[in-house]
Amino acid sequence: MKIGFDHKKYLEEQSKYILERVNNYDKLYLEFGGKLLFDLHAKRVLPGFDENAKIKLLHKLKEKVEIVICVYAGDIERNKIRGDFGITYDVDVLRLIDDLREYELDVNSVVITRYNGQPATNIFINKLERRGIKVYKHEATKGYPTDVDTIVSDEGYGKNPYIETTKPIVVVTAPGPGSGKLATCLSQLYHEYKRGKVAGYSKFETFPVWNVPLKHPLNIAYEAATADLKDVNMIDSFHLDAYNKMAVNYNRDIETFPVLKRIIEKITGEESIYKSPTDMGVNRVGYGIVDDEVVKEASRQEIISRYFKTNCEYKKGYVDKETSQRVKLIMEELNLKETDRKVVQPAREVSAKLKEKSSKNEVCPVVSLELPDGKILTGKSSKLMEASAAAVLNAIKALANIADEIMLISPVVLEPIVNLKSKTFGSKNIALNCEEILIALSICAATNPTAEVAMEKLKLLKGCQGHSTAILGRHDEDTFRKLGIEITCDPEYPSESLYYNN
């Protein structure tokens, strides 16, 4: 992989800048947008970026940092899912707490925002409190967003309980957008000033990158990633007016800045030091870019991947037509085609040939994988295994230089698994998925040295690109995620079955 980003340089620049900002206050509330851990989008568009760069940055500052996690009660009620991990927001909060503790970071508490006694939320609160996690409940802020006098009063932010903190930097994070991070920061700011303390607010958003051109593919990839939020990148007019310098921000930040500035000034009783929404940010990621062409190409590939993902989500009913059309327009804006992703055409060609031979008018699932040396292999579905499993087996055979005709998995191992699915579990689809095939392979590896060699090659698939001509099942999505394979799918189900294709 070509490197376009210097992780070490970025960490040094970023930590220095945050410490400079905190020196102005007794306490700095730092709103962390995006993913605190496993920022896979940043990793893909900035080759060389460490997906856990943000938490490693906080680890460097651990003596000065504590964490507050926000989650919107409405997201808990409707079981909102974090797409890159396939887990609900409440479960992601638990995962986040565990991961933060592994990095020796102090988790202060969890804040339930816009709480209104929701039943599922109450169960989640019980779960946290009975495991020793402090929980604060914040209701919707009265008067928000226009009635500043009510917002900055005991009827507004004052109604929220004060979160007791002890360290100079309080990082406020969340599983995803719309979780109430900003309101929590401002509520704390209000309480700090009521207590006679000088506190500040800053924002850490990785994207859009403020010091990269508006139409740079890196910033356009952010628009593709947030198509469901309808975010639009714009030139920060406030920054341009104040400093006569171009800076990129997005519509929601620019639209809310005048009100946000007034709220902060009302809380502090003095003119804000911030002249623009860009001023509020502390992001230095743009300074870590060392090869712009590499970043541009990675960003283009990310846009194509997002196009496939959004179309599949539309097919599943998760997003609306407008979101799907929006990503299509972004593709057209950069003159990108589906087949600009190298793994797409090989899979489609094999699938088309199989369909010609088939008597059924259904999709013939084929998965293609690009190996580290650039070679592309495919796997097709059969009665015994799904296309994803076939592709992975073919890939590790090729990496281990094992002849195609050599059988890696003994029928003695496969037969009981198939019988378990069909006879004991009564499954209608007995073809083994990728996880099931890999478990069978691991059993064979205990006695078969060839299978053991093949198993060792699985780790080489991390970072490889793949494409499926049909929407993958949940188990296969999870397995590819664990293997680190970046997979896209055509928005077609493998059959007309409704229940068994979910």
On whether the CB atoms of residues 55 and 48 are closer than 8 A, the answer is: no
Q: Which amino acid is at 450?
A: T
- CATH class given for the domain over 7-207+274-288: alpha beta
Q: What are phi and psi of 83, to 5 degrees?
A: -60, -40
In a 3-state reduction of DSSP, which class is residue 94?
A: helix
Q: CA-to-CA distance for 375 and 179, rounded, in angstroms? A: 43
In a 3-state reduction of DSSP, which class is residue 472?
A: coil
Residues 6+ away with beta carbon under 8 Å from 279: 239, 242, 273
Q: CA-to-CA distance for 457 and 342, rounded, in angstroms? A: 22
Q: Which pLDDT belongs to residue 348?
A: 97
CB-CB neighbours of 455 under 10 Å? 18
| Cis peptide upstream of residue 208 (ω within 30 degrees of 0) | yes
Q: Which DSSP letter does residue 251 get? A: H
The CATH classification number of 343-501 equals 3.40.140.40
CB-CB neighbours of 441 under 10 Å? 23
Positive or negative, the Cα torsion across 252, 257, 263, 268? Answer: positive
Q: CA-to-CA distance for 428 and 271, rounded, in angstroms? A: 68
Q: Look at the block and give the residue holding tokens 């009660």.
A: 73
What single string gives the DSSP state of each residue in 17-52?
HHHHHHTTSSEEEEEE-S-SS--HHHHHHSTT--TT
Q: Look at the block and give the residue holding tokens 């031979």.
A: 357
The two tokens of residue 111 are 């804040």
The two tokens of residue 456 are 């060792």
Q: CA-to-CA distance for 255 and 118, rounded, in angstroms? A: 31
Q: Which DSSP letter does residue 161 get? A: P
Looking at the chain, the domain(s) classified CATH 3.40.140.40 span: 343-501
The two tokens of residue 462 are 């991390």
Q: Which pLDDT belongs to residue 500?
A: 56
Residues 6+ away with beta carbon under 8 Å from 441: 393, 408, 409, 451, 454, 455
H-helix or E-strand containing 137? strand 135-137
How do 248-250 and 376-380 pair as beta strands? unpaired
The two tokens of residue 90 are 């409440």
On whether the CB atoms of residues 415 and 361 are closer than 8 A, the answer is: no
Q: Which residues pair with 28 in a beta bridge?
A: 169, 200
Q: Which pLDDT belongs to residue 426?
A: 83
Q: Which pLDDT belongs to residue 359?
A: 67
* Tens digit of each residue's pLDDT (9 = 90 or more) over 101-121: 999 999 999 999 999 999 999
* Tens digit of each residue's pLDDT (9 = 90 or more) over 58-86: 998 999 999 999 999 999 999 888 766 77
Q: Which pLDDT belongs to residue 120?
A: 95
Looking at the chain, the domain(s) classified CATH 3.10.630.10 span: 7-207+274-288
Q: Which pLDDT belongs to residue 412?
A: 87
Q: Which residues pair with 249 in a beta bridge?
A: 234
Q: CA-to-CA distance for 318 and 104, rounded, in angstroms? A: 37
How do 65-72 and 169-173 pair as beta strands? parallel
Q: CA-to-CA distance for 305 and 109, rounded, in angstroms? A: 36
pLDDT one digit per residue (tens) for the chain, 502 residues: 789 999 999 999 999 998 888 888 889 999 998 788 889 999 999 999 999 998 999 998 999 999 999 999 999 999 888 766 778 999 999 999 999 999 999 999 999 999 999 999 999 999 999 999 999 999 999 998 889 999 999 999 999 999 999 999 999 999 988 899 999 999 999 999 999 999 999 999 899 999 999 999 999 999 999 998 888 999 999 999 999 999 999 999 999 999 999 999 999 999 999 999 999 999 999 999 999 999 999 999 999 999 999 999 999 998 999 999 999 999 999 999 999 999 999 999 999 999 888 767 678 899 999 999 999 999 999 988 999 999 999 999 999 999 988 989 988 888 888 888 888 888 878 889 999 999 999 999 999 999 999 999 999 999 999 999 999 998 999 999 999 999 999 999 987 776 655 5
Smallest Cα–Cα separation from 309: which of 294, 327, 296?
A: 327
Cα torsion for 157, 162, 168, 169, to the nearest 10°?
-60
